Amino acid sequence: KGLVEPFRKGKIHLKPAVRQAFLAEPALAAELRAYYSEEQGKRSDRELFAKIEKRFGDRIIEEVAIPLQVPAAQCLVAAIYFGREPSE
């Protein structure tokens, strides 16, 4: 609950480095946005967090968290926020 609460309240601001890491992985970025688009409105933020963690967690850790040395949980929350953003 603690990780999802700031997201729910709109207090998460995607750090430029994390956002760029998602954009540097176009396949991951496209899949996150497509998945978020499919799932939004069907699930609570908490459920969506769990689903994204299950489906994309390993990739997010390998492709974003480790290279940036950012905690995995923050990257998962950022993934939800990134999924919300309109694609460029």
Q: Which residue has the tokens 């990780």?
A: 3
Compute, in degrees rounded to 10, the torsion defined by CA atoms 35, 46, 1, 56.
-30
Mean pLDDT of 27-42: 87
pLDDT at site 14: 57
Task: Give 38-87 pLDDT, tens digit per residue.
Answer: 887 788 878 888 898 999 999 999 988 898 888 888 888 788 877 877 76
Terminal C-alpha separation, the chain:
30
Residue-level pLDDT at 41? 79
In the numeric block, which tokens belong to residue 48? 């969506």
The predicted structure's pLDDT at residue 9: 47
